[in-house]
């Protein structure tokens, strides 16, 4: 469902971020994206989110060639992708409920659907009793669960998590991984960039390692493979 | 767009307006100031045009006196020649007998004095009506070239001056308004920029979740629209009351004599309100679009 064919990305001033990437990720896979900082992980994610355009090759998503997609259609493509960030990116002046509902409001969902869907997803990430709280009343793990709820509220087929456990202690990190795994088991593809060695090693999922702009490793049940 | 979405946009627009009240007031003030200048100019110009128009209905014809001792067919041919000149609406023949009759009428009771004349001293003439006032100069010039025409009498000087003054006021006014308008656009775009920065995080999230560009832009456009609209309404109110005051002053000083030429306040309001509202909103929208072009990469 996601396919990179000879994809390359060169920024201005001839900075090569990615070159000749060939990857195929099927529906429902759980993929770890590992590699040193500045190796090309961020660029890879930016290409998936259409924040950047590939300078060569072809990207296919849900049977659709999206390489040359027009700026107008990018918002529509993004609706099929959920995103989770290391720093949560919640709106501080909105409650948990409102933060999640917000993602539905801006794609102009029906009020009835919003009222039905938001409590359901909050239940899924285990935050039913925190719906009326504001982000500053939550722990880091809870905030990240809100952002997960927000990322899946519009039923995307893919969730991209950019170091979702980077700001969390190990116990909380595992809590988040359980939520992500649960979402993955419901059929959502998950692509997670991470530096968390033990999580990658214990989860035994597919690992794609990027270094110096190329894929140096792509194992079905991989390990982290770096010492940091 | 759904009604609910529209409600959301308008609400966000107001939130932006309220959140940086100081800048909002400055923006509204700048729109009001520019439109006030426009108000002064436009009321002057409208009145001058009004006077010119009333003058036109009084001066939109000239009398063309013919030489003496012309044959009837010569007079007729001059008539057709006059009618064929571009800018001439129609002509009316006034024989010397008609002219004398007219004179008698205007002299009233003293009219009998004219009966003592042995020879009618008045010439035959044509009254030429113009299609439009501005073209009268060339028409007169052409008429003077016709043989058999003795003298042309017209009030071009008065009207020329009026039109010149109106043009001058209009031109300097437009220049002033353009500058003030640019300042207003600049201030509004800065106001919107502040809202934009305050909502940066929200906008980032909106982008990632797949909000369309216009969904993101609309609240800012609406904020700009309101800034412009409120400024326009202030300006309209001030212009209306100030104009009414001035009108009453003129009316009291000169009685109806002069006031007849001046457009009353209500009619003035009717003429300028749409223009003010459109200009105010236009300036507001322009300001917000400029700030978004620079600072909102969606």
pLDDT digits (tens, 9 = 90+) for B165-177: 878 888 887 888 8
Q: Is residue A147 scored above 70 in pLDDT? A: yes
pTM: 0.68
Determine whether the interchain pair A49/B202 forms a contact, defined as Cβ–Cβ distance below 8 Å. no
The residue among B258, B233, B248, B245 whose CA lies nearest residue B47 is B258
- Give the per-residue pLDDT at B197: 83
Is B78 or B61 the better-scoring residue by pLDDT? B78
- Give the per-residue pLDDT at A1: 86
- Give the per-residue pLDDT at B178: 86
Weakest-pLDDT range from A26-30, A209-213, B216-220: B216-220
* Separation CA A204–CA A213 (nearest Å): 24
Distances from the Cα of A116 to the Cα of A94, A123, B83, angstroms:
19, 12, 82
CB neighbourhood size of B178 (10 A): 11
One-character DSSP codes across A101-140: HHHHHTTT--HHHHHHHHHHHHHHTT-GGGTT--GGGS-H
With cut-offs at 50, 70 and 90, classify the pLDDT of residue B255: low
Query: Does A77 touch chain B if contact means CB atoms closer than 8 Å?
Result: yes
* Separation CA B269–CA B263 (nearest Å): 10
Is A160 or B138 the better-scoring residue by pLDDT? A160
SS3 B272: helix
- Give the per-residue pLDDT at B237: 95
Q: Provide the edge-to-edge strand list for the sheet that holds B61-66.
A: B88-94, B125-130, B61-66, B149-153
Query: Does A46 touch chain B if contact means CB atoms closer than 8 Å?
Result: no
Is B222 or B100 the better-scoring residue by pLDDT? B222
Q: How far apart are the first and last CA of chain B?
A: 19
| Closest partner CB to B205 (pick from A75, A76, A91) | A91
Residues 6+ apart with CB under 8 A from B152: B62, B63, B64, B65, B140, B143, B144
- Give the per-residue pLDDT at A155: 92
**Residues in chain A within 8 Å Cβ distance of B297:** none
- Give the per-residue pLDDT at B154: 66
Residues 6+ apart with CB under 8 A from A97: A118, A119, A122, A131, A132
Residues 6+ apart with CB under 8 A from B49: B166
* Separation CA B84–CA B86 (nearest Å): 6
pLDDT tens, residue by residue, B9-45: 888 888 878 877 888 888 898 889 888 988 888 888 8
| A208 CA: distance to closest CA in chain B (Å) | 24
- Give the per-residue pLDDT at A157: 93
Q: Is residue B151 scored above 60 in pLDDT? A: yes
pLDDT tens, residue by residue, B85-135: 888 888 888 888 888 887 777 677 777 777 777 778 788 888 888 777 666
Average pLDDT, chain B: 82
- Give the per-residue pLDDT at B73: 84
The residue among A219, A169, A215 whose CA lies nearest residue A41 is A215
Q: Which residue is listed with tokens 């009453």? A: B248
What tokens appear for A160 in the block? 């991209």
- Give the per-residue pLDDT at B59: 64
Q: Any bridge partners for residue A3, and if so which?
A: A24, A60
Nearest CA in chain A to B214: A72
- Give the per-residue pLDDT at A198: 92
Q: Is residue B159 scored above 60 in pLDDT? A: yes
- Give the per-residue pLDDT at B285: 93
Q: Tell me if B126 sits within 8 A of B79, measured CB to CB.
A: yes
Weakest-pLDDT range from A69-73, A119-123, A187-191: A69-73
- Give the per-residue pLDDT at A210: 94
- Scored b (16 or more CB within 10 A) or e, A135-159 reads beebeebbbbbbbbbbbbbbebbbb
Share of chain B above pLDDT 70, in %: 90
Weakest-pLDDT range from A96-110, B216-230, B243-257: B243-257
* Separation CA B54–CA B48 (nearest Å): 10
- Give the per-residue pLDDT at A28: 94
Weakest-pLDDT range from A106-115, A162-171, B170-179: B170-179
| A29 CA: distance to closest CA in chain B (Å) | 22
- Give the per-residue pLDDT at B119: 78
**Dihedral angle sign, alpha carbons of residues A104, A107, A111, A113:** negative
Helix (H) or strand (E) holding A85: strand A81-85
Is B94 or B232 the better-scoring residue by pLDDT? B232
**Dihedral angle sign, alpha carbons of residues B219, B225, B228, B229:** negative
The residue among A93, A110, A84 whose CA lies nearest residue A180 is A84
| Closest partner CB to A103 (pick from B2, B209, B215) | B209
Q: Tell me if B82 sits within 8 A of B64, measured CB to CB.
A: yes
Helix (H) or strand (E) holding B224: helix B213-259
**Dihedral angle sign, alpha carbons of residues A30, A31, A37, A43:** negative
What tokens appear for A197 in the block? 């060695």
Q: Is residue B160 scored above 80 in pLDDT? A: no
Q: Which residue is listed with tokens 């969606």? A: B298
Can you tell me the mean pLDDT for A166-172?
92
**Dihedral angle sign, alpha carbons of residues A46, A48, A53, A57:** positive
Phi, psi of B70 (to 5 degrees): -100, 145
* Separation CA A84–CA A37 (nearest Å): 18
* Alpha carbons within 13 A on the beta-carbon side of A131: 13
Q: Is residue B256 scored above 60 in pLDDT? A: no
**Residues in chain A within 8 Å Cβ distance of B11:** none
A-proximal residues of B, 189-208, CB under 8 Å:
201-202, 204-208
Determine whether the interchain pair B210/A154 forms a contact, defined as Cβ–Cβ distance below 8 Å. yes
Q: Is residue A187 scored above 70 in pLDDT? A: yes
* Separation CA B253–CA B259 (nearest Å): 9
- Give the per-residue pLDDT at A158: 95
Q: Is residue B161 scored above 90 in pLDDT? A: no
The residue among B33, B18, B21, B22 whose CA lies nearest residue B232 is B33
SS3 B65: strand
Q: Which of B76-90, B190-204, B231-245 has the highest mean pLDDT?
A: B231-245
- Give the per-residue pLDDT at B258: 59
* Separation CA A131–CA A125 (nearest Å): 11
Residues 6+ apart with CB under 8 A from B98: none
Average pLDDT, chain A: 92
- Give the per-residue pLDDT at B3: 79
Q: What is the ipTM of this complex?
A: 0.83
The residue among A57, A63, A97 whose CA lies nearest residue A80 is A63
């Amino acid at each position: 469902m996601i396919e990179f064919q000879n994809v390359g990305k060169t920024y201005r001033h001839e900075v090569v971020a990615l070159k000749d990437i060939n990857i195929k990720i099927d529906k429902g896979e759980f993929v770890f994206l590992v590699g040193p900082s500045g190796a090309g992980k961020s660029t890879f994610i930016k290409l998936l989110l259409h924040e950047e355009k590939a300078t060569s090759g072809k990207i296919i998503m849900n049977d659709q060639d999206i390489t040359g997609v027009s700026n107008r259609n990018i918002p529509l493509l993004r609706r099929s992708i959920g995103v989770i960030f290391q720093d949560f990116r919640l709106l501080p002046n909105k409650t948990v409920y409102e933060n999640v509902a917000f993602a539905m409001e801006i794609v102009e969902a029906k009020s009835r659907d919003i009222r039905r869907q938001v409590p359901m997803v909050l239940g899924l990430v285990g935050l039913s009793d925190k719906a009326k709280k504001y982000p500053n009343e939550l722990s880091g793990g809870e905030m990240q669960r809100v952002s997960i709820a927000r990322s899946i509220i519009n039923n995307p087929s893919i969730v991209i998590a950019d170091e979702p456990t980077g700001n969390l202690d190990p116990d909380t990190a595992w809590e988040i991984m359980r939520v992500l795994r649960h979402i993955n088991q419901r059929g959502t593809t998950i692509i997670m960039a991470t530096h968390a060695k033990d999580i990658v090693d214990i989860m035994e999922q597919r690992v794609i390692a990027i270094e110096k702009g190329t894929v140096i490793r792509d194992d079905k049940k991989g390990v982290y493979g770096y010492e940091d | 767009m759904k009604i609910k979405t529209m409600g959301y946009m308008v609400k966000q627009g107001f939130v932006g307006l309220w959140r940086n009240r100081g800048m909002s007031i400055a923006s509204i003030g700048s729109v009001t100031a520019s439109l006030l200048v426009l108000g002064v100019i436009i009321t002057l110009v409208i009145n001058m045009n009004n006077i010119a128009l009333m003058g036109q209905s009084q001066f939109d014809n000239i009398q063309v006196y013919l030489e003496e001792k012309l044959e009837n067919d010569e007079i007729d041919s001059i008539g057709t020649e006059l009618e064929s000149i571009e800018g001439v609406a129609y002509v009316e023949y006034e024989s010397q007998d008609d002219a004398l009759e007219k004179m008698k009428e205007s002299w009233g009771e003293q009219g009998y004095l004219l009966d003592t004349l042995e020879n009618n001293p008045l010439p035959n003439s044509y009254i030429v009506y113009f299609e439009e006032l501005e073209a009268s100069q060339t028409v007169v010039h052409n008429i003077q070239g016709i043989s058999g025409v003795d003298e042309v009498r017209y009030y071009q000087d008065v009207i020329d001056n009026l039109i010149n003054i109106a043009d001058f006021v209009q031109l300097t006014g437009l220049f002033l308004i353009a500058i003030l308008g640019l300042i207003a656009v600049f201030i509004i775009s800065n106001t919107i920029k502040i809202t934009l920065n305050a909502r940066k995080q929200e906008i980032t999230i909106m982008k990632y979740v797949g909000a369309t560009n216009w969904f993101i832009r609309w609240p800012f456009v609406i904020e700009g629209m309101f800034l412009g609209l409120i400024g326009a309404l202030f300006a309209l109110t001030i212009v209306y009351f100030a104009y009414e005051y001035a009108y009453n002053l003129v009316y009291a000083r000169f009685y109806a004599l002069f006031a007849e030429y001046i457009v009353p306040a209500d009619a003035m309001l009717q003429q300028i309100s749409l223009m003010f509202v459109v200009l105010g909103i236009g300036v507001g929208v322009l300001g917000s679009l400029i700030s978004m072009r620079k600072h909102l990469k969606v």
